[in-house]
Amino acid sequence: MAASMESKRRAARVVASLRGEYPEADCALRHVDAFQLLIATILSAQCTDERVNQVTPGLFAQYPTPADLAACPLPALEKAIQSTGFFRNKARNIQACCRQLVERHGGHIPRDLDALVQLPGVGRKTANVVLGTAFGLPTGVVVDTHVTRLAGRMGLTRETDAVKIEQDLIKILPRDEWIAFSHRMIHHGRRICNARKPNCDECVLSDACPRVGVVPNAPSAKSTRSAAKPIPSSSPKSKKPKKTKQRTSLATADSPEQPRQPVSQRAPGRKVSRRSSPA
Q: Which residues are catalytic?
A: 125, 144
Which of 127, 154, 155 has the alpha carbon at shortest distance from 143? 127
In contact, 129 and 186? CB cutoff 8 Å? no
CA angle 131, 137, 142 (to 5 degrees): 60
Cβ-based neighbours of 74, under 8 Å, separated by 6 or more: 91, 92, 95
Cα separation, 102 vs 100, whole angstroms: 5
- Number of residues that this document lists for the chain: 279
**Positive or negative torsion for Cα 49, 53, 54, 58:** positive
Question: Residue 187's Cα: distance from chain center in Å?
Answer: 14
Cα separation, 160 vs 119, whole angstroms: 25
196 residue type, one letter: R
Cα separation, 224 vs 269, whole angstroms: 67
> How many Cα atoms are found within 13 Å in the side-chain-facing hemisphere of 193?
27
In contact, 156 and 14? CB cutoff 8 Å? yes
Cα separation, 40 vs 25, whole angstroms: 18
Which of 54, 131, 127, 60 has the alpha carbon at shortest distance from 85? 54
In contact, 65 and 106? CB cutoff 8 Å? no
